[in-house]
Amino acid sequence: MNITFPDGAVRQYDEGSTAMDIAKKISEGLARKILAAEVNGEVWDLTRPIKNDASVKFLTWDDEKAKSTFWHSSAHLMAEAIESSFPGVKFWVGPPIEKGFYYDIDLGDNQISESDLEKLEKKMRELVKQNSSYIRKEISKADAIKYFEEKGDEYKLDLLSGLEDGSITFYTQGEFTDLCRGPHIPSTGSIKGIKLTGIAGAYWKGDERNKMLTRIYGVTFPSQKELDEYLVFLEEAKKRDHRKLGKELELFTFSEKVGAGLPLWLPKGAMLRERLQQFLQKAQIESGYLPVITPHIGSKNLYVTSGHYEKYGKDSFQPIKTPVEGEEFFLKPMNCPHHCEIYKALPRSYKDLPLRLAEFGTVYRYEQSGELHGLTRVRGFTQDDAHLFCMPDQVKDEFKKVIDLVLYVFKSLGFSDYTAQISLRDREDKSGYIGSDENWDLAEKSIIEAAEEKHLDTVIEYGEAAFYGPKLDFMVRDAIGRKWQLGTIQVDYNLPERFDLTYIGEDNAKHRPVMIHRAPFGSMERFIAVLTEHCAGKFPMWLAPVQVKILPISDKFLSYAENVFSELKNNDIRAEIDDRSEKIGKKIRDTELAKIPLMLIIGEKEVNEEMVSVRRQGKGDEGVKSLHGFIEMIQAEVKAKSVYNATAKVL
Ligand SMILES: [Zn+2]
Ligand SMILES: [Zn+2]
């Protein structure tokens, strides 16, 4: 049979050869490195015979698909360890996740706590030493049912009820057999670094009316070294978790009484958020944006017109009704429909375009309570939203301007590692997209050229565009190497059509404008979460909710401290006095922990000489300065938007 490789080379192999056989013929080194193979675009076991001509791509640990296969195989290994420790437990599903895997298990009368995880890890390591192969077996539905009936596992029987005869496979490694469609790595021996990371409750099938199963999370690596590095990373990520820092730095809170997923901004968090908002607002006004304001609700009709009602109505917060007329309103899930109506409020001519309407608009989207996460998944959030209405030949210029704005935001906040992803139509099948071919071609070309002219490091993904237009997303890497999607710029041919938006062209005829959605931050909530984790709560001087903490050595110096405070306040510097009767060492430590950038120590010498002693967070003593000199120093740092060195100690 003919095997085609990714570079286009075609070679002949015996029918029934496995991907592993083929790899070994190429080189033993390759065979040792690979974990799975893509056969005709589908991930396969390396040990599964290939019976016809096929394309084959080998997958190594660096491949996301290989990682998933490795982690899913590790879930089987964990299940084997659990079954041998707790005979009679029943298994639901054990999928890979973004980083690792879990298995949902009905433990019956057994109890597992965090303290048992180490024992399970030890058991897994013992099993790894046996280096058992994951053996695939095609099985009839009747035999599969018989197996799990005998085992008494109603969960697997439930899974089987949804499967068709002829498509069912079992995988066995060591003593453990699972119903699974695969694929898996060849054997357990390559799982070298093992860590079980947590236990949670999970309703069967995610339905709270069902039984609560035990979900055990884990992560594994092909070497202990990689696991160790990952554990250091986890430790660092834990320290930076915005939920933890949000509490410690008094930025935001949640209240059960107010409701899940509805953040409450505390004064310090609100200060930070307002600074950010003012910063972007100023940059936007300089770039020709016009601020608009729209209400938090909109009539059902608005969302019927926009198409959101049909698409998301059932999964949204349900409508609010007026008591007398019974009119229906929805909490605003996005600002675009409102902005379309603002566009329509006046007759528009080509001379008015581009029209850039900006709003820090608060929207509400229903998320299941289990999906909520700190500030990154909430039910109410404020987008730094804007909609640009322009002519088709203005798309490129508008993209370039938005790219400039996004890069200015990244630079000002210390995000220096980013790439852009451009999502275009499917190359072959161009049906199913709204808008004319001509406009799509122009917009796609405009985005590609705009990205090139701005020297962005870009990847192009075909088939990833929304049905209503192509887009450009930024992927930002934070200080500890995690990737975040920020700053989407999205072309839209759909809403102008649905709202019948027009402008009078130079030819005196009516034309359809192009609409562009864009949000450099995405939402204030999510952005502040990302920023907090990126800079580990050490916000740059221009954003820090408190810039200076004044620390009098004793009460004797309080009145001088108060003079310093009011002088700072008069100069728009955000300061606080620590007037507790604590030792100065303790005051310094607490200020360090609060991540306030600067401290002023006030004692006998400072009062007599009318000076201040300056300390910087994380760096220490910076000597004595006149108050005037100190104020100038802060003002210069604010003006320069100096960024804290956000690089982590590790990685
Ligand atoms: Zn499996
Ligand atoms: Zn929008």
Q: Which of 106, 178, 385, 473 is catalytic?
A: 385
Residue 388 within any structural domain of the chain:
yes
Q: Are residues 89 and 218 in the same domain?
A: yes
Percent of the chain with pLDDT over 70: 99
CATH of the domain at 171: 3.30.980.10
Q: Are residues 486 and 406 in the same domain?
A: yes
Cα–Cα distances (Å) from 589 to 578, 615, 644, 645, in that order, read 12, 12, 19, 20
pLDDT band at 432 (very low <50, low <70, confident <90, very high): confident
Helix ranges restricted to H, 86-208: 117-129, 141-151, 154-161
Residue closest to 485 by CA, chosen among 498, 497, 503, 472: 472
Q: Are residues 480 and 579 in the same domain?
A: no
Looking only at the bridges linking them, the beta strands covering 611-616 and 548-552 are unpaired
H/E segment holding residue 420: strand 418-424
387 is catalytic: yes
Neighbours of ion ligand 2 (CB under 5 A): 336, 517
Q: Which of 63, 242, 336, 617 is catalytic?
A: 336
296 is catalytic: no
Residue 517 CA to ligand 2 center (angstroms) comes to 5
Mean pLDDT of the chain: 94
Strand, helix or coil at 418? strand
383 is catalytic: yes
Q: Are residues 84 and 121 in the same domain?
A: yes
Q: Which of 215, 339, 387, 549 is catalytic?
A: 387
Residue 298 CA to ligand 2 center (angstroms) comes to 15
Residue 604 within any structural domain of the chain:
yes
Q: Which of 517, 534, 538, 595 is catalytic?
A: 517
pLDDT band at 646 (very low <50, low <70, confident <90, very high): very low
Residue 468 CA to ligand 2 center (angstroms) comes to 12
Q: How many CA atoms lie within 13 A of 336 on its CB side?
A: 24
Ligand with the closest atom to the CA of 91: 1
Q: Are residues 631 and 487 in the same domain?
A: no
Q: Are residues 22 and 108 in the same domain?
A: no
Residue 167 CA to ligand 1 center (angstroms) comes to 14
Average pLDDT over residues 263-286: 96
Per-residue confidence (pLDDT) for residue 436, from 0 to 100 = 86
Q: Are residues 433 and 562 in the same domain?
A: no
Residue 487 CA to ligand 2 center (angstroms) comes to 13
Residue 44 CA to ligand 1 center (angstroms) comes to 12
Per-residue confidence (pLDDT) for residue 642, from 0 to 100 = 73
Residue 253 within any structural domain of the chain:
no
Has residue 644 got a pLDDT over 70? no
Q: Are residues 578 and 518 in the same domain?
A: no
Cα–Cα distances (Å) from 320 to 98, 229, 297, 402, 575, in that order, read 37, 51, 9, 36, 44
Ligand with the closest atom to the CA of 169: 1
The one-letter code for the residue type at 489 is I
Q: End-to-end CA distance of the chain: give it in Å, rounded.
A: 46
Helix ranges restricted to H, 241-266: 242-248
511 is catalytic: no
Per-residue confidence (pLDDT) for residue 643, from 0 to 100 = 66
pLDDT band at 450 (very low <50, low <70, confident <90, very high): very high
Q: Are residues 510 and 585 in the same domain?
A: no
Q: Which of 481, 499, 534 is the last residue of a domain?
A: 534
Q: What is the DSSP letter of 373?
A: B
Average pLDDT over residues 501-523: 97
Q: Which domain holds residue 12?
A: 2-60
Residue 230 within any structural domain of the chain:
no
Structure-block tokens of residue 152: 């008494």
Average pLDDT over residues 26-47: 95
Residue 71 within any structural domain of the chain:
yes
CATH of the domain at 362: 3.30.930.10
Per-residue confidence (pLDDT) for residue 651, from 0 to 100 = 32
Q: What is the count of structural domains for the chain?
A: 4
Residue 515 CA to ligand 2 center (angstroms) comes to 9
Structure-block tokens of residue 123: 């058991």
Residue 325 within any structural domain of the chain:
no
Contact (CB, 8 A) for 459 and 421: yes
pLDDT band at 330 (very low <50, low <70, confident <90, very high): very high
Q: Are residues 104 and 214 in the same domain?
A: yes
Residues 184, 185, 187, 191, CA torsion sign: negative
- What is the per-residue burial (b if ≥16 Cβ within 10 Å, else e) of 9-38? eeeebeeebbbbbbbeeeeeeebebbbbbb
Per-residue confidence (pLDDT) for residue 369, from 0 to 100 = 85
Q: Which of 173, 284, 383, 490 is catalytic?
A: 383
Ligand with the closest atom to the CA of 181: 1
Q: Which of 534, 566, 592 is the last residue of a domain?
A: 534
Percent helix, strand and coil across the chain, each rounded to 5? 40, 25, 35
Residue 489 CA to ligand 2 center (angstroms) comes to 10
Residue 137 CA to ligand 1 center (angstroms) comes to 12
Q: Which of 503, 534, 565 is the last residue of a domain?
A: 534
pLDDT band at 641 (very low <50, low <70, confident <90, very high): confident
Per-residue confidence (pLDDT) for residue 640, from 0 to 100 = 87
Has residue 164 got a pLDDT over 80? yes
Per-residue confidence (pLDDT) for residue 648, from 0 to 100 = 39
Ligand with the closest atom to the CA of 517: 2
Q: Which of 471, 549, 587, 615 is catalytic?
A: 471
Ligand with the closest atom to the CA of 73: 1
Residue 188 CA to ligand 1 center (angstroms) comes to 12
Residue 70 CA to ligand 1 center (angstroms) comes to 10
Residues 6+ apart with CB under 8 A from 104: 91, 92, 93, 94, 202, 204, 213, 214, 215
Residue 383 CA to ligand 2 center (angstroms) comes to 9
CATH of the domain at 632: 3.40.50.800
Has residue 647 got a pLDDT over 60? no
Q: Are residues 44 and 72 in the same domain?
A: no
Structure-block tokens of residue 430: 């161009």
Residue closest to 182 by CA, chosen among 344, 376, 32, 45: 45
The one-letter code for the residue type at 24 is K
471 is catalytic: yes
Residue 244 within any structural domain of the chain:
no
Q: Are residues 460 and 578 in the same domain?
A: no
- The size of the chain, in residues, is 651
Average pLDDT over residues 512-528: 96
Give the Cβ contact number of residue 443 at 10 Å: 24
pLDDT band at 313 (very low <50, low <70, confident <90, very high): confident
CATH of the domain at 43: 3.10.20.30
Residue 464 within any structural domain of the chain:
yes
Structure-block tokens of residue 64: 């996301």
